[in-house]
Structure 1
Amino acid sequence: MIDENFYPQFHVLFGAYLNQDSDLWGDTLEEVVSCFKRDSSPAQIQDTLAEIDKFEKETGKDLDQEFSDAYGNDFDPILWGYTTITFFDELKRILTT
């Protein structure tokens, strides 16, 4: 399980936006993540981007399993049409545009 102390922005993103109630924020990944982006400071956005990189580096070849173990109860990128890596790529794109 991912410790929220090491990934505080993931805790916010998945705890408040990309969860079972994500439809409150939008119908698409871009709509939901755009709400997170709107509600976050520039520093929080940069922290989120850094957490994506950190998570990818720390989990390596176990990325899909580690992500599923940490967030699979509330969010599954496959249900949105992504793999974990393509989901992270899309997050980066949305957060940096």
Structure 2
Amino acid sequence: MDSIDRYPAMDHFFMIYFGQDFDLFGRTASEIVDCYKENSSHCVQNLIHEIDSYRHQHADDLAFAFEHTYLTEFSPEPWGYTVTSFPDEIQRLLRE
């Protein structure tokens, strides 16, 4: 089963909002998440749940799996995040 089938909210969020044109949605992670929340408020709780599920499924290889699945166009390191801290920050911002 592909990630699009198992984690459709994550696929949409990370491929669109943190994809090639991520700067269209904001200059910081907070601005981008705020834009997502404005445009897709009905999906926020599902995205939080999917990130938890993804983290549980990839407990032994989270950094590798997340980077190779969702960070093909975006690198969180220049923004001060690691590959593993970035989903945590996204969830925190979604909950605000």
Return the TM-score normalized by structure 2: 0.88
Give the match for residue 92 of structure 2.
93
User: Secondary structure in 1 aligned to 2:3?
Assistant: coil
**Does residue 45 of the first structure (1) align with residue 47 of the second (2)?**
no
- Matches of 1:61 and 1:79, distance apart in 2: 25
Number of positions where the alignment pairs a residue of Structure 1 with one of Structure 2: 96
Runs of 4+ in 1 over 3 A off after TM superposition: none
**Does residue 5 of the first structure (1) align with residue 8 of the second (2)?**
no
Structure 1 residues 83, 23: closer, same or farther in 2, change over 3 A?
A: same
- Matches of 1:41 and 1:27, distance apart in 2: 20
Tell me if the contact between 2:14 and 2:71 (Cα under 8 Å) persists in the aligned partners: no
Give the match for residue 23 of structure 1.
23
Identity %: 38
Return the TM-score normalized by structure 1: 0.88
Q: Which deviates the most, 76-85 or 2-11?
A: 76-85
1:7 offset after TM fit, Å? 0.7
